[in-house]
Amino acid sequence: MGTVSSTVQLAPVSLGSSIIGFISFAFTFATFLRVFWQNLTTLFKAGRESKNILTTLRTELEEERSCLREIKRHQRSRGPTSSQDVFQGPELDDVAIRSLQSTVKRLTKRFEDFERPFLANEEEFQRRKERRRRRSSRGRTARRPGDASHDYEKGTRHQPDGYESEDDKVEDLYSTISLRRRLTWLNTRSEALGMLDAVNRVQTRRIARQVGEIACMLHQYKNTLEDLRHGVAITEDRMSRVVGLRRIN
């Protein structure tokens, strides 16, 4: 008889909690659907996407190693006596070269471990070479044997003709995508993109250093030209005193 119910007072609080819970559940479910759809899309695109990213990584790492070796070889051929000669071209100091080479070497080691699950086995690789050879023999032009070479894993194995570009050679190194490789790519795709970004940063560092060296060289060129112009003016003045010549402006 004397009981007072508090249901009416708690109803707004319960309603607010229910709304907040429903909104949180909706956001969580939407996030789950988005992640699920992204993973599903990654699985479907793993075949072409993995080959494209791995091919780009391998090519850029090889080009960066070759570029750094060429820079180091060029500086060694010049010798220490020509380090002050501004007409020899831009150069990087030894510390910068060693730092870049160490970074590229570390990235290459990571890449070799990363790409191993996606490499084609020897049998599949040989079948692709035979297919390329037959396709090339049916083409309009015949190429001389021994023009192209690429290694199965290290980049030195000789391959027959039939490739239209260097990327085709590298793509043949990777196996046909399977469900297991699709799942592997799903778990390692973010690492591959991070590695690609790291390679781009290394290239940016090298280019920035070279551009800085070129800017310093241009400044030195300006000083050299000013000194040369001053020397020519002094020579003309002395010659005019000796033979009576006058400079014509």
Report the candidate in 77, 57, 59, 58 with the shortest Cα–Cα distance to residue 69.
Answer: 77
Residue 161 has a pLDDT of 45
Q: In sequence order, which residues have a C-beta less than 8 Å from that of residue 122 and are 6 or more positions away?
A: 152
CA distances from 141 to 160, 175, 242 (A): 15, 29, 72
pLDDT in tens, 138-173: 654 544 544 444 444 444 444 444 455 555 666 677
Q: In sequence order, which residues have a C-beta less than 8 Å from that of residue 156 and are 6 or more positions away?
A: 149, 150
pLDDT (average), residues 209-218: 80
Residue 151 has a pLDDT of 47
Q: What percent of the chain shows pLDDT beyond 70?
A: 70
Residue 157 has a pLDDT of 42
Report whether pLDDT(245) > 80: no
pLDDT band at 236 (very low <50, low <70, confident <90, very high): confident
Q: Which two tokens stand for residue 21?
A: 């819970």
pLDDT band at 200 (very low <50, low <70, confident <90, very high): very high
| Contact in structure between 240 and 247 (CB atoms under 8 Å) | yes
Q: What percent of the chain shows pLDDT beyond 90?
A: 11
Higher per-residue confidence, 27 vs 164: 27
Distance CA 190, CA 192 (A): 5
Number of neighbouring beta carbons within 10 Å of residue 47:
16
Alpha helices in the chain (DSSP H): 7-78, 94-115, 122-137, 166-171, 179-243
Lowest mean pLDDT among 44-53, 132-141, 209-218: 132-141
Report whether pLDDT(231) > 80: no
Contacts 24+ apart (CB under 8 A), 160-167: 160/129, 160/132, 160/133, 160/136, 161/132, 161/133, 161/136, 162/132, 162/133, 162/135, 162/136, 163/132, 166/59, 167/55, 167/59
- pTM here is 0.63
Distance CA 172, CA 120 (A): 8
pLDDT band at 80 (very low <50, low <70, confident <90, very high): low
DSSP string for 120-154: PPHHHHHHHHHHHHHHHHTSSSPPPTTS-B--SSS
Report the candidate in 42, 63, 41 with the shortest Cα–Cα distance to residue 167.
Answer: 63
Report whether pLDDT(64) > 60: yes
Q: In sequence order, which residues have a C-beta less than 8 Å from that of residue 199 and are 6 or more positions away?
A: 57, 60, 61, 64, 107
Lowest mean pLDDT among 15-19, 50-54, 137-141, 208-212: 137-141
Report whether pLDDT(84) > 90: no
What are the beta bridge partners of residue 240?
none
Higher per-residue confidence, 165 vs 216: 216
Higher per-residue confidence, 164 vs 41: 41
**DSSP single-letter state for residue 116:** G
Report whether pLDDT(178) > 50: yes
